[in-house]
A and B are shown apart, each in its own frame.
Chain A
Amino acid sequence: MKIVLEHLTKRFPNRNKKIKTEVIAANDLTFEIPDGALIGLLGPSGCGKSTTLNLISGLEVPTEGRVYFGEDDVTDLPPEKRGVGLVFQNYALYPHMTVLENIMFPLGNFKGDERLPKEEMKRRAYEAAKLVQIEELMERRPSELSGGQQQRVAIARALVKRPGVLLLDEPLSNLDARLRLATREEIRRIQRETGITTIFVTHDQEEAMSISDLIVVMKDGVIHQISKPQAVYDDPVNLFVATFLGTPKINVFSGSVKDGRLFLGSDAVLGVPGVPDGEVTVGIRPEGFLPSPDGPMVCGLSRVEVMGRDTSIVFTHPAFDGEAGRAIVDAEDAAGLEPGEVRFALRPSKTHLFDPVTGDRIRPRDASEA
């Protein structure tokens, strides 16, 4: 099912009652989620992504704006009428019920003609359990399950009603690192098999990058960018998106542009045709540095960390915004580097310019005209 959010805004009264200003958890969100897509809502904690999820599920009522499922306006519908399956961060499995009873619970809420015979309820519960591969755990209680298994039960319980939309709130945050990798593949698989439109919330960029069809990057209740995962990384719209995505972090410098050339300190490091003169904030991805003996960017070399295939070079530069930057280069290119000085050439595609005040991306003017 396609989901459309239109100017969705949610304001909460401030928790500190003395402060009259309201907290804006979601600010004028407008975007469309295509049918059958897996969407990652990504942002730092407190950015309003959980609120957005609750607005879609109907647990929260928006202050302004509308929510559409397909062609239907569901803004005023309570959660149970929207046909959503919701998986909570802590799974919210009922501890006093077995796995089977937990999965069957939503079916027991059907009323009137929709009411299913017990056998059919059981059949559907097993069908959902099979999808998440937990059929052999049906008689256990949640406390007897591992975190990953509880997660699967929660997904089965969300899917058993055959909802049009599946919502997952921080689905992997309670799992250990190894399970996290396996479970996110599992979520992707389940989503592919059912073709259900799925939205999940996360603060972990790697999680979002690895399984989403589209990533929505949020901060302070505002959407900063909606793109395919690779595009969010390669083509950030502003400094926040650039710094939030990528490990190790993007290296940020203060620089200036003069006559189509980018200056970091006194060195002209890169030609940037079409960019107007002025101060800029420069973001360079760690893989944007190429060690070369006559490279234009002169840096102090603090240390070299060998990581096998790649080598991480920790460097200092007078224009760098912080202590030390980090470049990731091929092990071959880093051979023979000695502490002291290192020279880099920059890859233009990995070097992004931002407005030092607004943080917005500065793009070459002629490129956009062409």
Chain B
Amino acid sequence: MKQHGLKAWLYLAPAIAFLGLFMVYPLVDVVVYSLEEGYNSASQSYFGVGLYNFSYVLRDPYFLQAVKNTMILVLITVPVSTGLALLISLGLNSIKALKKLFQTVYFLPYVTNTLAVGLVFMILFKKTAYSDGLINLLIHAFGGPTVDFIDGPYWAKILVSSIYTVWIVLPFKILILTSALASVNPMYYSAAKVDGTSKRRIFWRITLPMISPMLFYLIITGFIGAFKAYSDAVALFGVDLNAAGMNTIVGYVYDMLYGNSGGYPSYASAAALILFSIVFTITCVNLLISRKNAVV
């Protein structure tokens, strides 16, 4: 028995070593950094231990702006993208002709580079000396006032940001939901059909409960993903997100580490832990709700 134990540990050793080095140690280190007050990365020294870093970060207007931006984006993009993905998947599932083509088209954004997509969005939305952007041309054609989506008012930027995020996350959700829909055994639909069940009732009483585990999975990962957003904002508004007023929490962490105002690993760690606690709370709430509605 003892030998078996040894052997097992031996097999586990590489994984434990890597996970320890690249996952556990950094996690612990983040907590340590966040508690070290006045840490100086050059001299590797600090004044004392306490919660000052947290109170600094929580009072930093840039951080509060980043939290507000992130929250707004999460609250808009998660429901909208999940709902849209469900609608598109239902559509894809019910057509026969060109199904493969549409599936490919809807999946394309998934394999497209984020920054390339950002470039396309620039062409659509950005005002330059030469053009107001395609969307503004459209608005103009219908007689509306042009809006600067990239450097203009806050809600215009939020709008572009939301559209961008939704478009980026849609393909994965559509992929998951179409396969979830396809995996519902058609005999349930036959059974419902023999009983004369309306399409509406079939959707609400059969399809939706059957795919609800996948739906909850998408909502939970959607929340986590949206809270971790950073590259989307960079692709649209450049690296100086604080100046654009469009920073996200992860962006703030990055700036604290490497940005122009960088060199503060303690503040970055504190901000990262705050983000973790938000994501953790929301995931717990999500799981509680999904348990309640779980299909046995």
Contact = CB atoms under 8 A, between A and B. Distances in A.
Given A92-B185, A141-B296, A59 B194 contact: yes
Nearest to A106: B195
Interface in A28-81: 57-59, 78-81
A95 interface: yes
B296 A84 contact: no
Given A95-B296, A96-B209, A96-B210, A90 B187 contact: yes
Interface in B188-222: 188, 190-198, 201, 205-206, 209-210
Contacts of B193: 59, 78-80
Contact of B191 (A78, A88, A108): A88
A80 B192 CA distance: 9
Contacts of A58: 194
Contacts of B191: 86, 88, 92
B195 A94 contact: no
A79 B296 contact: no
Nearest to A144: B296
B209 A59 contact: no
A105 B188 contact: no
A109 interface: yes
A174 interface: no
A94 B193 CA distance: 13
Contacts of B185: 90, 92
A80 B206 CA distance: 17
**What bracket does the count of chain B residues touching chain A fall in?**
10 to 19
B190 A88 contact: yes
B42 to A, nearest CB: 60
Contacts of B98: none
B195 A80 contact: yes
A79 B196 CA distance: 7
A74 to B, nearest CB: 13
A59 to B, nearest CB: 6
A292 interface: no
Nearest to B191: A92
A314 B192 CA distance: 52
B79 to A, nearest CB: 23
Contacts of A96: 209-210, 295-296
Contacts of B196: 78-81, 106, 109
Contacts of A79: 193-194, 196
Nearest to A108: B201
A17 to B, nearest CB: 14
A21 interface: no
A361 interface: no
A80 B191 CA distance: 10
Given A92-B185, A96-B295, A109 B198 contact: yes
Contacts of A97: 205
A143 interface: yes
Contact of A92 (B187, B205, B296): B187
B170 to A, nearest CB: 27
A109 B201 contact: yes
A95 B187 CA distance: 12
A86 B197 contact: no
A88 B185 CA distance: 12
A107 to B, nearest CB: 9
Given A59-B190, A90-B187, A105 B209 contact: no
A78 to B, nearest CB: 8
Nearest to B210: A96
A20 to B, nearest CB: 20
Contact of A143 (B187, B209, B296): B296
Contacts of A109: 195-198, 201
Interface of B: 185, 187-188, 190-198, 201, 205-206, 209-210, 295-296
Interface of A: 57-59, 78-81, 84-86, 88, 90, 92, 94-97, 105-106, 108-109, 141, 143-144, 161
21 contacts: A59-B190, A59-B194, A78-B193, A78-B196, A79-B194, A80-B193, A80-B196, A84-B194, A86-B190, A86-B194, A88-B191, A92-B185, A92-B187, A92-B191, A95-B210, A95-B296, A96-B295, A105-B205, A109-B196, A109-B197, A141-B296
Q: Top 7 A-B pairs ranked by shortest CB distance? A: A80-B196, A106-B195, A92-B191, A96-B209, A96-B295, A92-B187, A79-B194
